[in-house]
């Protein structure tokens, strides 16, 4: 809509309720036809301001996506005003450039990120990460000509009132480009936000899709580690940093949800930090495309859904299965990995720890046609450890893209008579009043992945 300036003055109470600000203007809340809207009023400057207004208007007018803020209207109008000049009032011409958007009650993401962590719960963080990725993927790939944002940062990610839905905003620096190739800009025109601009842009003015991917990586790092904590990514070896972040989130998530949910959360944490580290690679050719990132997240969600479906299978015999009843600690806790080689048996080991002061019975469930497990069941003494040896039987070839949909399940329950003998039947193992369950996805990796 083309909205008259005097109407915008009215619905914003003469621009009294400011809700945000940036390098190009201020944002106010208005009430239009009974609905709250955000009114972005650009600073009254000539030249570059016109380019920012024109770029944001033209690009946003092309975009319709749930994770990109929706443009509702605009005002581009010359207003005549009397202003004091040399002791007299003179008539002056002032240009008003205003964009109107849907109003996001949750404000911007940067308000939730502290020095060492994000104040939101993990599922909110994950939905924000996924939503931002989906929105950026739409900008890069849904139109005939890609839209490069070029100023992605937490203050340009807006949230709904529940802080779950994220929308990309502020396309003032964005560019609609004729191809996906790399472009070079004049260094005198280099603009953006320090910390979110990739090295190739700072050093040489080069612009490509990988510019926004680098910015996205910094955003994810800050969501997961805070404004100051994200710098450790550049100070620590990649594997050490990834492990550090996962351990911090494991500690934070402990006791906040059922074990099954906690396990899914950690899988998401692991995938998101791996993506973030790849996104901030100095060499842009090493960074993934946003469409590949979205694909990785979709694959992860499919795996978690499959795990959930698998957990509903009637694999318990007589006991009541409880996903948050965790009496055995399992290491590794995230996934069971096999270094795959064709036509060879590949073995790995896992450790069970009885965390209680009583005896615990356990049994292991997996695809017995493909995997050999020793032992498959037993009783563990209080506060004891037990090693489980798992062998992948020789396979002629790995599945396509090394994708494996197998699961490894450990069930456990207390044994009230204090026995430590392993001479037990399957139904006896599961005869307790509550049954704990740990489910691990089985993952194949190739030698090149390990060496890389």
Residues in the annotated binding site: 40
d(CA 318, CA 238): 46
336-339, strands of its sheet edge to edge: 336-339, 436-445, 407-415, 359-365, 377-380
Q: Please identify which of the residues 134, 151, 316, 406 carries the catalytic annotation.
A: 151
Q: Judge contact between 71 and 147, C-beta under 8 A.
A: no
| Residue 417 known to be catalytic | no
Cis bond leading into 252, ω under 30°? no
Largest CA-CA distance found in the chain, in angstroms, rounded: 103
Nearest to 96 by CA among 191, 1, 3: 3
CA angle 252, 257, 259 (to 5 degrees): 100
DSSP string, 25-90: EEEEEEEETTEEEEEEEE-S-STHHHHHHHHHHHHHHH---TTBPPEEEEEEEEEEEEEEETTEEE
Tokens found for residue 288: 């993934």
DSSP annotation of 118: B
CA distances to 179, 201, 204, 274, 318 from 183, rounded to whole Å, are: 9, 10, 10, 28, 65
Q: CB-based contacts of 390: which residues, under 8 Å, 6+ apart? A: 336, 347, 348, 349, 350, 366, 371, 372, 373, 408
- Please give the annotated binding residues for ATP, written as ranges: 40
Active site residues: 151
């Amino acid at each position: 809509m083309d909205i008259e300036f005097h109407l915008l003055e009215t619905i914003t109470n003469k621009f009294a309720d400011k809700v945000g600000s940036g390098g190009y203007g201020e944002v106010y809340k208005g009430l239009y036809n009974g609905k709250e809207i955000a009114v972005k009023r650009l600073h009254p400057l000539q030249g570059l301001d016109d380019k920012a207004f024109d770029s944001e208007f033209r690009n946003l007018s092309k975009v319709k996506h749930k994770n990109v803020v929706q443009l509702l209207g605009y005002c581009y109008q010359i207003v005549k005003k009397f202003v004091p000049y040399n002791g007299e009032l003179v008539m002056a011409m002032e240009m008003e450039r205003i964009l109107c958007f849907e109003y996001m009650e949750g404000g911007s993401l940067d308000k939730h990120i502290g020095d060492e962590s994000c104040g939101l719960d993990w599922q909110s963080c994950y939905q924000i990460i996924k939503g931002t990725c989906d929105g950026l993927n739409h900008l890069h790939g849904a139109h005939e000509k890609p839209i490069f944002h070029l100023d992605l940062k937490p203050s340009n990610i807006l949230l709904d009132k529940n802080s779950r839905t994220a929308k990309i905003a502020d396309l003032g620096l964005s560019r609609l480009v004729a191809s996906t190739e790399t472009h070079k800009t004049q260094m005198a025109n280099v603009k953006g936000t320090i910390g979110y601009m990739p090295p190739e842009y700072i050093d040489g003015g080069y612009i490509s899709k990988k510019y926004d991917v680098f910015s996205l990586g910094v955003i994810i790092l800050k969501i997961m580690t805070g404004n100051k904590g994200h710098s450790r990514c550049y100070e620590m070896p990649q594997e050490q940093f990834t492990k550090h972040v996962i351990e911090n989130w494991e500690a934070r998530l402990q006791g906040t949800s059922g074990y099954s949910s906690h396990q899914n959360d950690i899988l998401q944490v692991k995938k998101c930090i791996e993506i973030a580290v790849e996104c901030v690679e100095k060499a842009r050719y090493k960074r993934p495309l946003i469409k590949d990132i979205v694909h990785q997240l979709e694959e992860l969600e499919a795996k978690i859904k499959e795990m959930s479906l698998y957990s509903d299978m009637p694999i318990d015999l007589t006991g009541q299965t409880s996903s948050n009843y965790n009496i055995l600690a399992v290491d590794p806790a995230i996934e069971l990995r096999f270094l795959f080689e064709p036509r060879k048996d590949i073995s790995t080991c896992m450790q069970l720890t009885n965390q209680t002061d009583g005896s615990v019975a356990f049994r292991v469930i997996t695809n017995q046609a493909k995997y050999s497990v020793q032992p498959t069941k037993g009783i563990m003494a209080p506060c004891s450890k037990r090693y489980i040896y798992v062998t992948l039987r020789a396979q002629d070839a790995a599945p396509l893209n090394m994708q494996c949909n197998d699961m490894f399940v450990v069930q456990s329950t207390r044994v009230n008579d204090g026995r430590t003998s392993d001479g037990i039947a399957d139904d006896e193992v599961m005869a307790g009043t509550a049954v704990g369950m740990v489910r691990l996805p089985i993952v194949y990796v190739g030698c090149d992945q390990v060496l890389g």
